[in-house]
Structure formats: structure tokens, C-alpha cells
Chain A
């Protein structure tokens, strides 16, 4: 009777993974970082000074701190992932990151984490992104990967910008915006320059106006300039112009309960019988000579 072949010795020698080891290493690392954070506490004054210097280093750096996104038919701007990275780095004594944690049907879920080692406070933020197109067709694997990375970045940014109190970073963002967007005194030259940049990138003025929801260059104010910086960053990130400047389609939803209410009112108004014309008050006839009102039988 043939005995079954012995498994190779090498296979037996592979040690089984000790699932308790990794958490222990991780915990030791975090404990070490917490101890270091307590030994070298941050200075908020230095943080503001350092980060403000960084974000206003040059126009390019300042512009990178702003992103744009379509919301409710308009393009709005806000602090970007790059800005959040600068804030987290300058604030110091922290751990942060983002990762995809789940794929739920037509959505991908990413989680951003920010852990303040000095204060021992942690903030997590989840972001859901659709992985189907407007026809309900699922993205291909590459697009799902890209969408997952984008969602993780956004989740991380949101976690950092909630973990670091807004009171600390708002003035820094304002400084970056001031450098990137300018102010009222430079607005005229800035918007000419911005439109020139987009023209070189193959985007017509009409496309820019349509995206911003303005009629012409005169309607571009500080808020629109901020959105333009965000749109510029999207183009710089390699997102195609036709995607960045696609004018949002009106939502397909087109019916509502209000439609019936309006119809009911219109129906009732239509049905309402015309008010009988009030009989004009009869002017009593008067005697042409004396002006006296004639007796009823002569009326």
C-alpha cells in the first residue's frame, strides 16, 4: 500500500501567522508616537505661521489649496486635499489617512481618519461615491479604482479639516484664497488672466460663463474667481475639459405633488362662474331745466 507523499518540510516550517502580533506592533508604534507628541507639544502660533507661509509661497501653491465642485446647479469652491495635507503636516503630532472600506452595490465607501496624538482625539469621515453612470451602468474596474482613490482622498481631507479645528485653519485658507484669487482691487486683471489661461487650455469664454452660470466677464466676482481656480486645478489634475466644463443636466425628476395642487387651483379658477356684472348704478333722470330728480313714473 502506497503511503501518501509527505508534504515538503519547507511547507511545514512556514510559521503560522500570529494574528496578535500585528496589532501589538501597531499599538507600540502609536504609544511611541503619543509619548513623542507629549514630549514635544505643538505650538499653534508656529503652526499658523508655518502653514500660512507654505500656502502663500507662490500663486501655484495657493491655487492648489482650492478645489471646485458642482452643487445644486452651481460651481462652488472650498479647501482642497492639498490644503488639508499642508494643515495636517504643519499641525503635527497626528496620524491621518484614507482608504476604501466597502463596496455597497452601486456605491463605493471610503473612510478618512485623523488622529490627534497629542490630544488623543480621533475623527473619522466616510464618503460614498456612485460607481454607476447616469444610465445605471456599472463603471469598469479602472474607473472603480479611480473613483475609490478620489473618495479616499476626499474622506481624508474631510477628516483632517474636522480633526483640526476650523478656527485654526480658516485664516490660513483665506490667506491662500487671497493670493490665488486676489481681491476687488485686482479682480479685473485677475479674471482677464484666468480667462486667458482657460483659452490656452482650449476652453472658450462661453463655456466658462455657462459653467459659472454668469452672463459675461463683468459678472465674475470673487466667489466665481475662487470657483475658476478650482476648475483650473481639475484641468491640471488631468480631468478632461469636456468633463470639467460639462454644464450639469437638469435633474430628470420632473413631476411633483405640487403639479396637481397647481392644476386644482387652475381648475377651480376656470370653473368659477364669471361674477355677474354689477348693474351700473342707474343715474336718476333729472329735469334738464331745473336739475331736479324726476318722479319715478317719469324715469
Chain B
């Protein structure tokens, strides 16, 4: 599987290592965000130094665990393991000590046995494991009611969908290769969707999150991908679950105005990327001396200062 293929295609089971390979000329939603909100120089650095950022942090591991608990709950317990609260200290570094005492030997044995029984599993702290499991359960149990008293739970919806579906396509206007990876996709019902773990899933808070994290641009990017790949979707909901008890769930869909704005911002970002690629220039925040103004709040107390 190569990103260089010039096909517009929706693929399943694309390995993470392939999908998450960063290339300057392949636009992902995350990459466009960096290019547009920070600078082309930041984007270039992000592409060329994949190991230097924080992606491999506990946050990302937790995110994957939460996705697994929600979308593939049966696999969750086999992929992730939690260290028992009564686990002894990890003393395996004293394995070659001259005269290890019996407690040390017992601890080493316990760790060897534990590791042997958890080969290939990803270890989470007990708190993170429980949190991911509760969030997943809450999302799956979330009940939506539609006109005609039709009920649908998150679990029913997720189970009907393919997970982690990958899209590769070429943007018609700029000729830039694009990629996206949707959490859920149901081709038959023309659905895509994304899971979000949030601090506050309320209307106002999530509307702010949409702007802050450019979820409306994500909606546009994915929507364009589905359309170009010949499978336009009719709905792209965001399923948000709060990170703290009682792990309240909310489902939101951006309206037409937000969607239009998302398309405009994405277009701007792609044109910026096209210009950078054509000129092979990756400028930072400025390329010449520029004048700046202060934000409005800097002038709020102007009158008081003079008084």
C-alpha cells in the first residue's frame, strides 16, 4: 500500500504505519490545521520530524484505547491490560544481583509471569483503563430518538459501521493528494462519523471546540473525500463523550453554515499548501517586516490611564 497511488479510493485495514506516514504533498486534516493555523514552516517540521512531537504520548495511547473500547469492546480486554493494584515493585533490574533476597526474587518472578501472560498487550494505568472502558460503555449505551419514535443506540450504530476506514483522493482544484481516516463509515446508509472525547459536550462548549479544533473543516475534508471517492455521505455526526463521570454523551452535527465555512477554510488551506509546494517555500509567520495592531482588549482601560 502506497500513498503515491493516484486513485480515489476508500480502503479498509490500511495499517496505521502506512496511513500515518507524513508527506509534505499529502494533505491530511491535521496537517492542514498546522499549516493554516501555525505556519508552513511548522507544517514542514511536523512532516519531517514525526518522532519529535507529542503524538506518542499517553494522550494518544488513551485515545486509541477509548476508540477500541467504543468501537471494538470485545477486543478491548485482549489488547489492553491494566496493572493490578497489588503488583509488586518492578525489580527486574536486580535480576543479576549477587545475592538477591527472596522478596526481590518473588517480585522478578511475578513480573516475568505477568509479562508472559500479557505479551502484545498495551498497558494502561488502572485509572485510564477504567476511564476508557466507562467512556466506551457510555457511548455504546447512548440512545438517540428520531422522528417516528425510532430509537438507535450508539452501539447499534457503531456495530453497523466499518471502523477506521481510510480514504485517499486527489483534490480536483489543486491536484493535491489528500487522505483521511474516518472512525466509522456505513456505505449503505451513507454515513461517516467521528468519536470525540471532550471535557464538556454541551452545545456551547462543543461549538467552541468545533471552532478551536476545526471540526467543521474536518467535516469538509472528509465530506470532500467521500464525494471524490464516489460515495458521498449524507451525514457526518460527531459523538462526544465527556472524560469524567458520569461520562455524558452528546451527538452533534454541524449546520449548513458551519459546513460551508469549513469548506472555505479547507480550500484556503489547500491553496496555501499548493503555493508552498509549487515554490518550495515554507515560510514562518512573516516573510517581511509587518505592522501589527493590538487586540481590542488592550485598549479597554485607555481612558482610565489618562484619568
Contact = CB atoms under 8 A, between A and B. Distances in A.
Given A255-B234, A257-B235, A263 B190 contact: yes
Contacts of B260: 251-253
B17 to A, nearest CB: 30
| Residue of A252, A255, A259, A263 ringed by the most chain B CB atoms within 10 A | A255
Contacts of B190: 259, 263
Given A255-B219, A259-B191, A135 B160 contact: no
Contacts of B186: 263
Interface stretch (A95-103, A188-196, A264-272, A278-286): A264-272
A256 B235 contact: yes
Given A253-B260, A255-B233, A259-B191, A264 B160 contact: no
A254 interface: yes
B271 A137 contact: yes
A136 B146 contact: no
Contact of A259 (B150, B219, B233, B251): B233
B267 A256 contact: no
Interface residues of A, number: 23
B200 to A, nearest CB: 20
Nearest to B232: A254
Given A136-B265, A251-B260, A264 B234 contact: no
Contacts of B173: 135
A255 B150 contact: no
Interface string B187-219: 001110000000000000000000000000001
B165 to A, nearest CB: 16
A267 B161 CA distance: 11
Contact of A251 (B146, B160, B256): B256
Given A255-B219, A255-B235, A264 B263 contact: no
B121 interface: no
A261 interface: yes
B45 interface: no
B134 interface: no
Residue of A132, A258, A262, A266 contacting most chain B CB atoms (<10 Å)? A262
Interface string B215-240: 00001100100010000111111000
B259 interface: yes
A137 B275 CA distance: 13
Contact of A264 (B152, B227, B253): B152
A265 B148 contact: yes
A49 to B, nearest CB: 47
Contact of A268 (B150, B223, B253, B256): B150
Interface in B60-94: none
Interface string B140-175: 000010111011100011001000000000000100
A142 B150 CA distance: 55
B12 interface: no
Contact of B237 (A132, A135, A260, A265): A260
A259 B259 contact: no
Nearest to A260: B235
B95 interface: no
Nearest to B233: A255
A247 to B, nearest CB: 18
A256 B234 contact: yes
B121 to A, nearest CB: 34
A156 B204 CA distance: 38
Given A255-B219, A255-B259, A263 B234 contact: yes
A255 B267 contact: no
B259 A135 contact: no
Interface in A175-227: none
A221 B231 CA distance: 39
Contacts of A136: 264-265, 267-268, 271
Interface in B250-307: 251, 253, 256, 259-260, 263-265, 267-268, 271
A55 B56 CA distance: 74
Interface in A230-263: 251-263
Nearest to B269: A136
A134 B268 CA distance: 10
A259 B233 CA distance: 8
Contact of A266 (B151, B189, B265): B189
A109 B56 CA distance: 48
A262 to B, nearest CB: 7
Contacts of B268: 135-137
26 contacts: A135-B173, A135-B267, A137-B268, A137-B271, A252-B259, A252-B260, A253-B256, A253-B260, A254-B233, A255-B219, A255-B223, A255-B235, A256-B256, A257-B235, A259-B190, A259-B234, A260-B146, A261-B147, A262-B234, A263-B190, A263-B234, A263-B235, A264-B144, A265-B146, A267-B160, A267-B189
Interface of A: 132, 134-137, 251-268
Given A136-B265, A254-B259, A259-B233, 16 more contacts: A135-B271, A254-B223, A254-B233, A255-B223, A255-B235, A256-B234, A257-B235, A257-B237, A257-B253, A259-B191, A259-B234, A261-B147, A263-B190, A263-B191, A265-B148, A265-B150
Please provide the 5 A-B residue pairs with the shortest distance between their CB atoms, ordered closest to farther.
Answer: A259-B235, A259-B234, A263-B189, A257-B253, A253-B256
